[in-house]
């Protein structure tokens, strides 16, 4: 009787904590959406911001966030996949491997402000890249690379050992076994984790304050030459992202509707991150179903 009572109490505590967490999360998201959705319009999403006058939008900042996402993932995905494959299939269990795993864990727990300062000192100043999208992408790669490595390593280790041994028994090389046997099984988890890591790029602000900058030149969307300074595709121009813009508007905005702009931009940011997370889960389920159906 006593054991049953304790079990019921603990079950109630766990359920209560779960409901509390869901309520806090739903309340936070609901508050941001209720405040911001009424300020979102087509003009708001695609028009440039105003410094002093009312009626500004978030067009360049939204584009900068998407462009920065693409640049970051172009750098992060190959490095993360390579390091994860090495740690899972090639690295031997020794002190060096343990040290590498320790470094990965330490990097994954680094505060973003520290990564931003590192980017300012090394990427912006030492390498002379200046405040630019590329500098921001490099800093975010340092921020996201440990997550990508762990996702890849855990996904490959999650493949049944029998499948790997069957490929080796058939005479396949180790690399051919990885690409033909392990990767097709692990790819749904890798894709899901990659999209979740990509969603973190939208919400990052501290690291970008010191690398991508807090201003953006007036972009000429009719000029797509990446060598021109005002071209949207120039990766070496300063770029204020949406998260940085929200911080800037809240801290030093001079426009009379600064509060409304910040609320609308926050709602856009929340919706974008939610879509990334939902898209990751949906894509992971689709890939898993296709993979299991083809066996």
Number of H helices, E strands in the chain: 12, 0
Angstrom distance (rounded) from CA 271 to CA 45: 13
Write out pLDDT tens, residues 10-69.
888 999 999 999 999 899 889 888 888 888 888 888 888 887 787 788 888 989 998 999
Percent of the chain with pLDDT over 70: 98
C-alpha 287/C-alpha 160 separation (Å) is 18
Which pLDDT score, from 0 to 100, does residue 293 have?
63
Of 273, 266, 133, the residue nearest 207 (C-alpha): 133
- What is residue 22's predicted lDDT score, i.e. its pLDDT? 93
Residue 55's region, left for phi above 0, alpha for psi from -120 to 50, else beta, is: left
**What residue has token string 């795993």?**
101
First to last CA, the chain: 49
**What is the Cα–Cα distance from 238 to 219, expressed in whole angstroms?**
11
Q: Which of 256, 83, 98 is nearest to 156 (CA)?
A: 83
Question: Which token pair is 214?
Answer: 């807090």
pLDDT class of 294 with cuts at 50, 70, 90: low
Enter the tokens of residue 172: 């396949």
Lowest mean pLDDT among 54-63, 100-109, 240-249, 266-275: 100-109
**Domain spans of the chain, in order of start:** 40-293
Provide the percentage of residues in the chain whose pLDDT is more than 90: 14
DSSP codes, 34-53 = HHHGGG--HHHHHSPP-SSS
pLDDT tens, 143-169? 888 888 888 888 888 888 887 777 777
| CATH superfamily of this structure's domain 40-293 | MetI-like (1.10.3720.10)
Rounded to 5°, the CA angle 131-133-134 comes to 95
Indicate if the alpha-carbon torsion angle 29, 32, 36, 42 is positive or negative: negative
3-state helix, strand, coil in the chain (%, to 5): 75, 0, 25
- What value does the mean pLDDT take over residues 266-271? 90
Distance CA 98, CA 89 (A): 15
pTM for the model: 0.85
Higher pLDDT, 135 or 218: 135
Give residue 137's pLDDT.
92
Sequence-distant (6+) residues with CB within 8 A of 150 are 84, 104, 108
> What pLDDT digit, counting tens, does each position of 81-130 carry?
998 888 888 888 888 888 888 887 787 778 888 888 889 999 999 888 88
Distance from C-alpha of 198 to C-alpha of 273, rounded to nearest angstrom: 9
Q: Is the pLDDT of residue 208 over 60?
A: yes
- What rounded mean pLDDT belongs to the chain? 84
Q: According to the model, what pLDDT value does residue 163 have?
A: 78
Confidence (pLDDT) at 291: 64
């Amino acid at each position: 009787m006593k054991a049953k009572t304790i079990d019921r109490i603990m079950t109630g505590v766990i359920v209560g904590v779960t409901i509390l967490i869901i309520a806090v999360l739903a309340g936070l998201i609901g508050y941001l959406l209720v405040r911001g959705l009424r300020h979102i319009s087509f003009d708001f999403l695609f028009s440039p911001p105003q410094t002093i006058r009312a009626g500004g939008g978030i067009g360049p900042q939204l584009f900068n966030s998407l462009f920065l996402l693409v640049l970051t993932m172009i750098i992060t995905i190959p490095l993360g996949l390579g390091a994860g494959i090495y740690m899972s299939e090639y690295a031997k269990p020794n002190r060096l491997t343990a040290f590498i795993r320790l470094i990965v864990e330490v990097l994954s727990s680094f505060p973003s402000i520290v990564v931003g300062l590192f980017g300012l000192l090394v990427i912006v100043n030492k390498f002379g890249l200046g405040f630019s999208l590329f500098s921001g992408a490099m800093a975010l790669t340092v921020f996201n690379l440990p997550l990508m490595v762990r996702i890849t390593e855990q996904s490959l280790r999650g493949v049944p050992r029998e499948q790997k041994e069957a490929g080796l028994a058939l005479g396949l090389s180790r690399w051919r076994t990885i690409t033909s046997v392990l990767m097709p099984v692990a790819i749904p988890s890798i894709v899901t984790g990659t999209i979740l890591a990509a969603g973190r790029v939208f919400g990052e602000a501290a690291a970008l304050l010191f690398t991508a900058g807090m201003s953006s030149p007036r972009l000429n969307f009719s000029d797509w030459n990446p060598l021109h300074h005002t071209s949207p595709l120039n990766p070496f121009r300063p770029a204020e992202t949406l998260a940085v813009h929200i911080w800037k508007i809240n801290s030093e905005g001079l426009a009379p509707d600064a509060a409304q702009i910040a609320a609308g931009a926050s709602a856009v940011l929340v919706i974008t991150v939610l879509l990334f997370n939902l898209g990751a889960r949906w894509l992971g389920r689709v890939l898993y179903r296709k993979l299991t159906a083809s066996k």
